[in-house]
């Protein structure tokens, strides 16, 4: 009877440890918001596409051009926490390096990407020329570079507990059969 109690206690401790550790894994990846643009250079008065991910599902995301502190607009993330929207850089924006910052209005998650604004009178090219920019930074904190392993850790703990129970059950049978 004591062995059975030990087995039950081991299983309870294993499951409790997994349940206690799971929120830590879940919270780690939640701040991994990133944004990018379809171009790294845009004329003042031109448009570009801003895409983002890592926000809360159905959350309103506000986009701000930091070099002028102008709100470019807002959009709603889809059910996966991603969005894609076209924004227009104000025509009176001075040429130079600027940062677009996306902020989730519910979660507070932020991400940013850099662009170069050129003069509205620059000849050659259109507002959507250039390469891609995806320097998404999560706005303070470390980048999420791992994997959410809570489910795998839970399955491993359960497998370990079941294996331990089988070992104890096998020993108990051997002891009982040798005493008979």
- pTM (2 d.p.): 0.54
| Torsion of Cα atoms, 109 then 115 then 118 then 120, to 10° | -40
At residue 136, the pLDDT reads 43
Please indicate whether residue 163 or residue 10 has the higher confidence score (pLDDT).
163
Fold of 30-118: Immunoglobulin-like (2.60.40)
Lowest-confidence region among 10-14, 104-108, 173-177: 173-177
Contact status, residue 141 vs residue 31, Cβ threshold 8 Å: yes
Decide if pLDDT at 36 tops 80.
yes
Q: Mind listing the pLDDT tens digit for each residue in 112-148?
A: 999 999 987 755 444 444 444 444 444 444 455 556 6
Residue 81 — left, alpha, or beta (φ > 0 → left; ψ -120 to 50 → alpha)?
Answer: left
**Given pLDDT bands bounded at 50, 70 and 90, which one contains residue 30?**
very low
Q: Mind listing the pLDDT tens digit for each residue in 43-91?
A: 999 999 999 999 999 999 999 999 888 999 999 999 999 999 999 999 9
Lowest-confidence region among 29-33, 64-68, 157-161: 29-33
Q: HEC string of the chain?
A: CHHHHHHHHHHHHHHHHHHHHHHHHHHHHHHCCEEEECCCEEECCCEEEEEEECCCCCCEEEEEECCCCEEEEEEECCCCCCEEEEEECCCCCCCEEEEEEEEECCCCCEEEEEEEEECCCCCCCCCCCCCCECCCECCCCCCCCCCCCHHHHHHHHHHHHHHHHHHHHHHHHHHHHHHC
At residue 121, the pLDDT reads 75
At residue 118, the pLDDT reads 92
Q: Mind listing the pLDDT tens digit for each residue in 78-113?
A: 999 999 999 999 999 999 999 999 999 998 999 999
Decide if pLDDT at 23 tops 60.
no
At residue 124, the pLDDT reads 44
């Amino acid at each position: 009877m004591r062995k059975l109690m030990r087995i039950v206690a081991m299983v309870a401790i294993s499951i409790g440890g997994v349940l206690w550790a799971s929120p830590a894994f879940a919270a780690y990846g939640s701040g991994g918001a990133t944004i990018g643009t379809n171009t790294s250079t845009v004329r003042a008065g031109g448009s570009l596409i801003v895409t983002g991910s890592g926000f809360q599902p159905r959350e309103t995301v506000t986009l701000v051009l930091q070099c002028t502190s102008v709100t470019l607009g807002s959009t709603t993330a889809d059910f996966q926490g991603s969005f894609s929207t076209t924004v227009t850089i104000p025509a009176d924006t001075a040429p130079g390096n600027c940062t677009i910052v996306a902020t989730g209005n519910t979660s507070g998650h932020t991400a940013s990407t850099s662009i170069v604004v050129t003069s509205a009178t620059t000849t050659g090219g259109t507002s959507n020329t250039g390469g891609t920019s995806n320097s998404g930074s999560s706005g303070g904190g470390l980048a999420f570079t791992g994997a959410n392993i809570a489910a795998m850790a839970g399955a491993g703990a359960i497998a370990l507990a079941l294996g331990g129970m089988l070992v104890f059950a096998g020993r108990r049978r051997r002891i009982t059969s040798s005493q008979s």
